[in-house]
Structure 1
Amino acid sequence: MTNGPRPVAAAPTVVALDIDGTLIDHDEQLSEAVVDAVRRTAARVPVILATGRAWSTTRPVAERFGLPSGGFVVCSNGARTLQYPDGRVVDERTFDPTTVIASVRKYAPNARMAVEEHDGSYLVTAPFPDGDLGVGAKIRVVGADELAPEPVTRLIIRDPEQSEADFVQLAERLGLHGVSYFVGWTAWLDIAPEGVDKSTGLKVALAQLGLEPDGLLAIGDGRNDIEMLTYAGRGIAMGSSPDEVKVAADEVTKSVQDDGVAAILNRWF
């Protein structure tokens, strides 16, 4: 990993961008410099949004950037790959969360849980803090026994009273097997099907586009971006990323508040 800019190499043939903490800050603000850089890039090469968000809260971001029709978005941390703008599901990976839900009820009885529905809405065991599931996300409160009557693409565990470190320990106590999981910035645990991460969806999207990962430029800031950054020919971590994300990246750019994405894209586009 290098902390400074590398010499300008051949232009990427495709770009993958995380949303939260990369394009948009934690106050849901999006700078015009980043909008302009992404729009110019999308006019030259495919731009794929690769996010933990559901389709319902990803689509407005794609619309804000004016991404061209016929492209792809990777949602739910790689469990769903969809075509933009019609939302046609190209690939979906699911798992049975019953065992994990039972473990959460045992080891973290005060935690809130959520699963994503096919339409991008959420079933939740209790309301999440405002904006946690995306601004405008639709939710329906159900009992834990009603949370997952069928396999799901993701299970989210959240406890606003706990810390990020607490949830790192919780993941260890839960003894998660047969699934993939990512600890977020706050007391947030995102559980996905085994072996599924953002690179899973990107492989599907690149196959659809007839492109190779060597030409992929990926930018992200979270632990759920690590596999994406290592899969890409050029992986860039945001300046505010945890250390393990920076170590996995080829380079570290500025923070989202300092328009780090624009600083990278402006080299080529």
Structure 2
Amino acid sequence: MTPPDGSWLVALDIDGTLVTYDEELSDAAREAVGAVRAAGHHVVLSSGRSLIAMTPLAAELKIDAGWIVASNGAVVARLDPGSPEGYELEHVETFDPGPALRLLRQELPDARYAVEDVGIGFRLTEHFPDGELQGQHEIVDFEELWSADVTRVVVRAPGSSSDEFHRLAEAVGLEDVTYAIGWSAWMDIAPMGVTKASGLERVRRELGVPMERTLAVGDGANDIDMLRWAARGVAMGHASEQVRNAADETTAGIEEDGVVAVLRSLLDGRRSLLDGRP
């Protein structure tokens, strides 16, 4: 479907961008998302979260139709209020997690490992800290994690740091997969070449939005490809230097509702936060 002239695809990360790390969505952010959608733009939630962890936020934002990019691009779904689950899976990318899991287990024998079952939850070696993984949780033996191809592997080592995870990923030389490391000791592993950007490109083609009318806002390492993909990539002010360097511009941090300024600039017809400033 060809969108009306002037419509943009607006890709929004969730944690640290739309909501705080305490899961708070401000009234200003909620209203700005609603105003952008009312103006005819396509708001697409794009997150490392699983699909079932994203649909409640979509409902809170009153988004019951449109697109969602979940699991860092491995899952692309179309929201449909007429569907029993409220969505239809449009694309699911899977891979064999065995080689990466066996390699990581040698270096991190005490870490917690999980694989995602789309629309259901996770199979995991032991429970993760409360609130980090949504859906049903099934504790299984480590070898059972690769009993079938999956969309995503999650590695969590609460006693480690993000920097230690970066050093480990470089040292073990993960191949044939794409990985992203979070602000905590958290690693997401996806099929090779699968990122938020690859998922969003599928959505862009489906919507028929020109590349020059794509906007993305994010704060994490898993947003870097998305920010580079978008014609206008905006990093949150609290993002790392690496993330900010991947963006075209930077807005305020999550505590200052930086995403709101970006959305309002789109409503004002500005192509940058600097437009119209002295």
TM-score w.r.t. structure 1 length? 0.92
Q: Counterparts of 1:100-249 in structure 2 under 5 Å?
A: 100-134=100-134, 137-249=135-247
Where in structure 1 do 4 or more consecutive aligned residues deviate above 2 Å? none
Amino acid at match of 2:19: I
Q: Using the alignment, how far apart are the partners of 2:37 and 2:113 within structure 1?
A: 36
SS at match of 1:239: coil
Q: How far 1:112 sits from its partner (Å)? A: 0.5
Counterpart of 2:43 in structure 1 is 47
Farther-moved stretch of structure 1 (241-250 vs 81-90): 81-90
Residue 87 (1) aligns with residue 71 (2): no
CA contact (8 A) 2:218 2:234 kept: yes
How far is 1:118 from its partner?
2.3
The 5 Å alignment of 1:6-45 reads 13-44=8-39, 45=41
Alignment match, 2:276: none
Gaps in structure 1 of 5+ consecutive residues: 1-9
Alpha-carbon distance between aligned partners in 1 of 2:211 and 2:16, rounded to the nearest angstrom: 23
* Alpha-carbon distance, 1:68 to partner: 4.4
Aligned-residue CA RMSD (Å): 1.4
Separation (CA, whole Å) in 1 of partners of 2:7 and 2:253 = 21
**Percent identity (aligned):** 41
After TM superposition, the score normalised by the length of structure 2 is: 0.89
Q: Give the SS at the match of 1:181.
A: strand
The Cα shift of 1:12 comes to 6.0
The amino acid that maps onto 2:58 is: A
Identify which of structures 1 and 2 has the higher relative contact order when contacts are C-alpha pairs closer than 8 Å and 6+ apart. Answer: 1
Partners of 1:166 and 1:113 in 2: how far apart?
A: 17
Aligned match of 2:275: none
Residues 42, 259 of structure 1: CA spacing in aligned structure 2 closer, same or farther, 3 A cutoff?
Answer: same
Say if 2:7 and 2:209, in contact at 8 Å, map to a contact too. no
Question: Which digits, 9 at most, give the CA deviation of each residue in 1:216-265, with x for residues without a partner?
Answer: 11000001001111110100000111110000001110111110110111
Return closer, same or farther for 1:226/1:120 CA change in 2, 3 Å cut-off.
Answer: farther
Amino acid at match of 1:32: D
Matches of 2:56 and 2:30, distance apart in 1: 13
Q: Are the aligned partners of 2:14 and 2:46 in contact in 1 as well (CA < 8 Å)? A: yes
- The number of residue pairs the alignment matches comes to 257
Q: Deviations over 1:136-194 (max 9, x none)?
A: x3211111011121111110100000011111111123220000001110101111100
Query: Gaps (5+ residues) in structure 2?
Result: 81-85, 268-278
